[in-house]
Amino acid sequence: MGRFITEWKKSHGAGELRIENAGQTAVLMGWVDAVRNHGGTIFIDLRDRFGVAQVVFDGASLGEADMEVAGGLRQEYVVAVRGTVRKRAGKPNPKLATGEVEVVTTELELFNKSLPMPFQVADEVDAREETRLKYRFLDLRRPPLRKAMILRSEAARLAREYFASQGFVEFDTPILTKSTPEGARDYLVPSRVNPGTFFALPQSPQLFKQLLQVSGYERYYQICRCFRDEDLRSDRQPEFTQIDLEMSFVDPDDVMTVADGMIASMFAGLRNVEVPLPIPRITYDQAMARFGVDNPDVRFGMELIDLTDLAKTSGFQVFSSVAGEGGVVTGMVASGGAAFSRKEVDALTEFVKTYGAGGLAWTKRADGKFTGPLAKFVDEALEKALLGDAGMKDGDLALFVADRDASVARTAAGRLRGHLGNKLSLVNPDKFGFIWVTDFPMFERDEETGKLVAMHHPFTSPNSEDLDLLSTDPLKVKTRAYDIVINGQEVGGGSIRIHDRKVQSLVFEALGIGEEEAGRKFGFLLEALSYGAPPHGGLAFGFDRLVSILVGTDSIRDVIAFPKTTRAACLMTEAPSQVDTEQLAELGIGLIEK
């Protein structure tokens, strides 16, 4: 006993044994995946990182004492076995990659026992996510998570190889940095040495990567952690990983081309999918008109139909009033949607209402006739639009949203399009839809304050032909910004930055940020721009989202080893937690009751 590890090293991955290994002596180490005890003969499935293999214990090969130990094995005990690989004495198991062979044991060691498991280590989860997160270290034993983690590691490796091949320099930028009140809420870290002051964890290395361009490195990249203290979703974590890059002397096409190459390398290497390059590009305005959203799922059609002009003369009051007041009427023809029950259509109405739409106007086409609430308002022009341009046929359903606020109408219709794409199974799950969305507006109006705010960030370069609009009609200003969208998910975004101190001042002016305030918040960047800043721009990929698309899962929690809940807590470590009053006192921090 005790010769395992010191003398007999692990010789094979359990999941890697094949018929070619028959006759070899093997030392396997791993976890007991299943026990099948037949009294005289005991089988276990031994699992390690590579998969499972059947191990046999019987009195003919194994001593009496070891047989006793074998009989006591339970799920998730950690064992080492030494024995001979052989063609199975019984029937092969076609369900297993190792199904033709088994290991007949001559030595056995029990390294460790396990308490009964909170849930089974199996492909299919039947445990609630709450339980899985509490025992994340056990959940990570499950093959789907193991595969996701290994794929994630491979994706990072491919990214590093790609950027190295393109002449990029990898940097580490600070985790303890300066709070920037623009944008998302910061996670704050108190400074003990400087009482009353705080670091912030970075929302992104944005300013640092721009400074590295001023420093002359020309091509920077980093795979880095970013932090945002905002409310969470299935595709948002308080800390997340970004593939961040920045380049000098480039225009948008240069950055998108480099990004295209990285995406192509990952999809080829990890999914064996050839991405046709270049990835198509559409402008923000086109995306909003055709899809209603700036992150369109281009795996299916069903593009939006704008009825605003027709609606002006419509007998339908809602349409004509909205169209007359500068609003938008838009919608789509859902092929086969006439089969929806009244209840289903009502649910669609509720769906668009969550996006602020007042309701849903709809009509079905059956037996050459229109039915439904909108039917009696289908005049000649609308009929032509539906049957002609939109190609509506018997069995189809046309749905429209009208709103005085164009973005509400478009967003509601766009989200409905995505919802119906899934409901009507228009999306082939094995297909990927790649698209760039470019020329985003520089500003949008904040609903609450009525002030202009930067849509991307205030360092985004306006299109050169729009510079004059900065002072005259800022909402019309478009930027040299671009987002990459895969399967309707924004997986990356970036822009060419402002490298001209004067242009930067114009932007701050439009945002209502005075020189004094700008200096206080971004002084070091503005100063840097004054010392020979090259034209530059870059991009950041949401690495977790990208990996979740490559893995084929809906939740980024499935590709993060130790994720947090939607209340930004870790159920395993029970972070965040209270701290001692001494610790707070040392930092000069007192708590107030809320």
Partner RNA sequence: GGGGUGGUAGUUAAGCUGGUUAUAACGCCGGCCUGUCACGCCGGAGGCCGCGGGUUCGAGUCCCGUCCACCCCGCCA
Residues 38-57 that bind RNA (CB under 7 A): 38-41, 43, 45, 54, 56
319: left (phi over 0), alpha (psi -120 to 50) or beta: alpha
The pattern of x and - marking residues 466 through 495 that bind RNA according to CB under 7 A reads ------------------------------
Q: How far is the CB of 455 from RNA (least distance, A)?
A: 5
Round to whole Å and give the CA distance between 288 and 427: 20
Burial classification of residue 270, based on how many CB atoms lie within 10 Å of its CB (0-12 exposed, 13-18 middle, 19 or more buried): middle
Residues 367-406 that bind RNA (CB under 7 A): none
Residues 334-373 that bind RNA (CB under 7 A): 354-356
**453, 503, 526, 587: residue in contact with RNA (rule CB under 7 A):** 453
Round to whole Å and give the CA distance between 550 and 528: 39
- Cis bond upstream, residue 92 (ω within 30): no
Round to whole Å and give the CA distance between 410 and 219: 38
- Within 8 A by CB and 6+ apart from 266, the residues are 155, 158, 159, 546, 550
Comparing CB distances to RNA, the nearer of 166 and 179 is 179
Residues 233-252 that bind RNA (CB under 7 A): 233-236
Window of 156-164, 225-233, 249-257, 468-476 that interacts with RNA by CB under 7 A: 225-233
Residues 145-184 that bind RNA (CB under 7 A): 182-184
**8, 50, 119, 171: residue in contact with RNA (rule CB under 7 A):** 119
Residues 191-210 that bind RNA (CB under 7 A): 203-204, 206
Radius of gyration in angstroms for the set of CA atoms belonging to the chain, rounded to a whole number: 30
The pattern of x and - marking residues 76 through 115 that bind RNA according to CB under 7 A reads ------------xxxxxx-xx--x--x-x-----------
Residues 546-575 that bind RNA (CB under 7 A): 555, 557, 565-567, 569, 571
Beta bridge partners of 570: 575
Between the alpha carbon of residue 454 and those of residues 237, 285, 442, the distances in Å are 23, 17, 6
**11, 25, 75, 191: residue in contact with RNA (rule CB under 7 A):** 75
Comparing CB distances to RNA, the nearer of 160 and 457 is 457
Contact 284, 438 (CB under 8 A): yes
- Within 8 A by CB and 6+ apart from 517, the residues are none
**3, 9, 18, 74: residue in contact with RNA (rule CB under 7 A):** 74
Beta bridge partners of 245: 221, 539
Please report the DSSP string for 499-528 in residue order.
--HHHHHHHHHHHT--HHHHHHHHHHHHHH
The pattern of x and - marking residues 504 through 543 that bind RNA according to CB under 7 A reads ----------------------------------------
The pattern of x and - marking residues 281 through 320 that bind RNA according to CB under 7 A reads ----------------------------------------
